[in-house]
Amino acid sequence: MSNIEKSTALDCIFGRRSIRTFTNQPVQEETLTMLLKAAMAAPSAVAKDPWRFVVIREQKVLSDLGSGLPNGAFIVRAPLGIVVCGDRNAAHGGLEGYMVQDCSAALENMLISAHILGLGSCWLGVYPREERQKHVAGVLRLPAGVEALAAVAIGYPAEKRSPRTRYNDSFVHYEAW
């Protein structure tokens, strides 16, 4: 990989920012499929792939969802919402920790892919807030054993944000703490 290719790949990471305002342009089915394929390209412990996704386009469902997410009222104005869920029974050893890590990797792939595809997105935390998990589970009628971890608002951005990193030398330790 050349330095230009490396730079382009890193630009995708640094350029991904949380977008909270969207145009009315719908996200096409082909683009949605690509986002989900990218999410499911993530690594998972022992390749158990415990992630599950609920795709939401209906305004009523987005509104119901947003009503229980304190910092997520903007999801109502997004043309697309995706709730990332984890199936604990599918996770390696049935362990919550693996489920959360695996689904977080899938979620990050989705966020970066959205940026690459010209979309804006914003991650709304659901897990580990029990009241948020119960709200989302009720709105989406999640089956037993499936837990909502995050909701993602997705659409074509109506705002522009500059690339950045939050690199901090004081967070890095070598050989030992």
pLDDT at res. 119: 98
Beginning with the edge strand found earlier in the chain, give each strand of the sheet holding 51-56 in spatial order.
51-56, 80-87, 146-155, 120-125
pLDDT tens for each residue of 16-41: 999 999 999 999 999 999 999 999 99
Mean of pLDDT values over 81-110:
98
Q: Which percentage of the chain shows pLDDT scores above 90?
A: 93
Identify the H or E element spanning 13: helix 3-15
Residues in the chain: 177
**The two three-digit tokens of residue 39, written as one number:** 């999410």
pLDDT tens for each residue of 166-176: 999 999 999 99
pTM above 0.85, yes or no: yes
Q: Are strands 120-125 and 51-56 parallel, antiparallel or unpaired?
A: unpaired
**The two three-digit tokens of residue 123, written as one number:** 């991650």
Query: How many helices (H) and strands (E) are present in the chain, helices listed first?
Result: 5, 4
**Mind listing the domains of the chain with CATH numbers?**
17-159 (3.40.109.10)
